[in-house]
Amino acid sequence: MRIQTVSTHAFLDQKPGTSGLRKKVKVFQQAHYLENFVQSIFDTLTIEGDATLTVGGDGRFYNKTAIQTIIKMAAANGFAKVLVGQDGILSTPAASHVIRHYETFGGIILSASHNPAGPTEDFGIKYNTANGGPAPEKVTEAIFAKSKTITQYKVADIADIDLNAIGETRLGDLTVQVINSVSDYADLMAKLFDFSAIKSLLQSGFSLKFDAMHAVTGPYAKEILVDRLGARATSLMNCDVSETFGGGHPDPNLTYAHELVDVLYANNAPDFGAASDGDGDRNMILGNAFFVTPSDSLAIIAANSRLIPAYKQGLAGVARSMPTSGAVDRVAKKLSIPCYETPTGWKFFGNLMDAGKVTLCGEESFGTGSNHVREKDGLWAVLCWLNIIAAKTKALGKWQSVEAIVKAHWAEYGRNVYSRHDYEAIPTEDANGVMAHIKSQFLTLPNQVFGRYTVNTCDDFSYTDPIDGSLSTGQGVRILFKCGSRIVFRLSGTGTEGATLRIYLEAYDPDIANHHLDAQVALAEMIEIALSVSQLKQRSGREAPTVIT
């Protein structure tokens, strides 16, 4: 096996975001661009002689091409073995499980998550460490530093691998093993949940509709929901993986998953609906004409966790990202367990899980998960809900609807009325201007009265990791009101064009008489406050959000 050392020049834009490096496909297709970043990963790590690398992705355009390059570079950089998903496919949570289950050195996951796919759309790459979780900031910063000084990379002169054929191929000192992309993950789910109870529920006439949005969870949903749990094949929609995700935007929310929403809000709608995103780590939960916010979903899973076999012994603790509502905090208080508030990014949860501090965690951006892997997990969340419904059905002798479960939770804990308004692809300069304007009012906003809301304090959220002591600053601007309500402004790091400015709005309401109100109606006054304080319309020219959830 001949090793080539290729001279290159540094690119200065390879700084990983909260979920790795994301750019347009055409950027990655530049000569040396992908290779530089992969070599920067390898140069940052200490690769042992028997190291195994996990590789896979969400199936989007350029996925297979990138995998072949990574295999050749892994061979040249001293890896003994590469585990790769069949056809190049591994959902992000499944990749995390493979890393942990086979105790590999770590993994390279190829995904731009919920972003659109295709020759003119997005691509992404990130490194996950041996715990199965995203690399911590100290590692991603080292990768970025290396990428700015790189002058050469190494690649093996070997033939492409047949990614469809399960089995091992020996290439000089490297073994490449193509593994079943689905079975290991499905086996793990069978250990966590009461598949017998869920199967009985689905065979009793309870109806569901799952939308894979032409993305990676399609094969997983077929194996688990249909083949193992007995759901009808017609319960699935858009489950064939497409390199362009069917030309859609695989973000499971009320805007982009409108096809599923239309089904669940139609006459004779199914009892339960769910969608997952491009790489399988996000989820949306729906009932018949009823939407469950991700914040409420996390809280309800935590409150009912003992109904799920994997968690029947109780939870060590829970965690949520700062922008996520405080609904789960109230559950944690009643359960007398710790609740941690972290910055956005699953790596922060990973530290807590590795230390045994938390069992469940979640983000308002449609991500929930547990310590079974070190990534958020869309299908896991769907199975949590089905297991909870199945257990309640068995106890009550009749189905309990998604809406009934949520409203019973609100009656017990109160409702954290919550919404997120996304303004996508704002020119970066304009988005930064909005954030700077808000921060300029930190000294004058406290004690100001806006209708029935009085500002208590303002800050830019920072976090000191209780496990490794690392400090993360600039994690989101908060306006906190004396009544406990709040508005959060944050620039997202998941897009590839301009900036996405997110506004998070939350008000706690213990009064059951108000729990029927639509969130936008209940939060109308707070929405106006947010727009007034930020001057978002004037500074961005945007009259309305791109997405409301």
Active-site positions?
113
CB burial of 327-352 (b: ≥16 within 10 Å; e: otherwise) equals: bbbbbbeebebebbbbbbbbbbbbbb
The two structure tokens encoding residue 275: 């969608």
* Gap between the Cα atoms of 135 and 20, Å rounded: 9
Distance between CA atoms of residues 255 and 253, nearest Å: 5
User: For residues 79 and 512, what is the distance between their CA atoms, to the nearest angstrom?
Assistant: 59
**227 contacts: CB under 8 Å, gap ≥ 6:** none
Nearest C-alpha neighbor of 409 from the set 521, 285, 527, 275: 285
Question: Residue 464 — φ and ψ, nearest 5°?
Answer: -100, 115
d(C-alpha 278, C-alpha 2), whole Å: 36
Q: How far apart are the first and last CA of the chain?
A: 53
Q: Is the dihedral of CA 305, 306, 309, 311 positive or negative?
A: positive
Distances (CA, A) of 54 to 47, 100, 129, 445: 13, 10, 10, 50
Query: Radius of gyration over alpha carbons of the chain, in Å?
Result: 23
Cα 522 from Cα 494, distance rounded (Å): 29
Q: Which two tokens stand for residue 250?
A: 């695989």
CA 501 to the chain's CA centroid:
18
SS3 state of residue 458: strand
DSSP 226: I
